[in-house]
Amino acid sequence: MKKNSRILIQGAGVAGLACAIWLGRNGFRPVVVEKAPDIRATGGFVICLSGASYRFADELGMMPALKQRDTDIYSASYHNSKGSTLLRLDYKELFKGVDFIQITRDEIEIVLYENAKELAEYRFSTSASKIEQVDSNKVQVEFTDGKQEEFDLVIGADGLYSTIRKLAFEESEVINHYLGLQVAAFKLENIAGLDHKFEYHMDRNRYMVLYSNRDGKLGSVFLWKSDQRNPVPIDQRWRILRESYQDASPLYKNVIEHFSDETPMYMDNLLQIEIKKWHKGRVVLLGDAAHCMTLLSGQGATTAFIDASHLCKSLIAHEPEQSFEYYEQKMRPSISKIQPATRKGAKWYIPETRARHFVRDSAMRYLPDSYFMRHFKKKYSRV
């Protein structure tokens, strides 16, 4: 694609900021629009970079800064609803020889933004409100502040509920897979006294993960069965979480009842997005906007980073149409495997029947730890 081309990137998350770095460093003129008022406004849960995303981050020279912010979690333990230990994993052993770091999402974004901020123009509290393909090479975009501009390419990196997807694609082109689960995540004081550790508490219809953070706080993620399909308003989130865990053991309740209703908290439904083509004209979708796999895949951030890297590296040498095809060829085979595998796996995370619950807990208790070590090592080695 011609150097100097103006490229709109909507969304300053992992995918969008990675695009800004690749494109800005290679002579393009990216404009990043982000609906949040600043870069640190997103959640602080742990995500990991491994495989190709690790190598691309290294190629961009970001590894030293990312490693400095590694959560340094060395172990994980899994417990049943009565608190008995089912499985222990030693991460130092598990990830020996694997390119892998764990870092909170806000910290990845800080490192990405540090690298990207001089390479693009940023407009916060803004979003595209209308997109029109002017001809085969130009897209006219109208923004929420009323401005109108032409771009050579539009990248939709605006996450699960992507506005670019809604503006450029027909509703009938998008398949929504609801997993029937809801997630909440927030930080609190380290009341569990965890040290460099993940602790999974697995009930039948719900679970809770606690983990230690670099800042001394305790991270928590809750996952439970739910028919909820609409985003939950902020002022109702604590009530819904409390109701969903009202008959849980005190361990869960101590964490949940730590806060007042006013404390901000991340809450969402688990929803996968499937679209036959990730591009249309001069508009292309990346990351969760194109193919959200949900947190249960454990690979959403990794994949968003790889998407951005394949697409942008190709744009340096090729026309957009060729680059879109290249990006789809590289990414679609793995996404097509991960999405259904994650849906299947969800049934084991939150078993619907007592029999499945029994099999899950027994497998974790009686299969050798080496079985799980091999499983996780393979998963994080291949992306």
Ligand X SMILES: Cc1cc2nc3c(=O)[nH]c(=O)nc-3n(C[C@H](O)[C@H](O)[C@H](O)COP(=O)(O)OP(=O)(O)OC[C@H]3O[C@@H](n4cnc5c(N)ncnc54)[C@H](O)[C@@H]3O)c2cc1C
By CB under 6 A, residue 301 contacts ligand X: yes
Instruction: Tell me whether residue 92 is exposed, middle or buried, using C-beta atoms within 10 angstroms of its C-beta: 0 to 12, 13 to 18, 19 or more.
Output: exposed
Per CB under 6 A, 101 contacts ligand X: no
Candidate residues 51, 281, 300, 320; the one interacting with ligand X per rule CB under 6 A: 300
Q: Does 11 participate in binding ligand X (rule CB under 6 A)?
A: yes
| 310 is a site residue for ligand X (CB under 6 A) | no
Q: Which two tokens stand for residue 287?
A: 């990351």
Strand pairing of 279-280 and 283-285? antiparallel
Q: Of 35, 40, 286, 19, nearest to 159 (Cα)?
A: 286
Binding ligand X by CB under 6 A: which of 212, 299, 309, 339? 299
Cβ 101 vs Cβ 70: under 8 Å: yes
Nearer to ligand X, 147 or 365 (CB): 147
User: Could you tell me which stretch among 10-18, 77-85, 113-121, 169-177 binds ligand X (CB under 6 A)?
Assistant: 10-18
Smallest distance from the beta carbon of 84 to ligand X, in angstroms? 25
Beta carbons of 286 and 303 less than 8 angstroms apart:
no
Is residue 221 involved in binding ligand X (CB under 6 A)? yes
Shortest distance (Å) from residue 230 CB to ligand X: 16
Between residues 38 and 173, which has the closer beta carbon with respect to ligand X?
Answer: 38
The binder of ligand X chosen from 127, 205, 249, 381 (CB under 6 A): 127
- Break the chain down into helix, strand, coil percent, rounded to 5: 40, 30, 30
CB 269 within 8 A of CB 228: yes
Residue 159 CB, nearest approach to ligand X (Å)? 3
With both helix axes pointing from N to C terminus, report the angle between 369-382 and 51-59 in degrees, rounded to the nearest 10. 50
Distance of closest approach, residue 70 Cβ to ligand X, in angstroms: 13
Angle at 323 between CA 319 and CA 327, to 5 degrees: 175
Residues contributing to the site for ligand X (CB under 6 A): 10-16, 33-36, 42, 45-48, 105, 127, 157-159, 163, 183, 185, 221, 287-289, 295, 298-302, 304
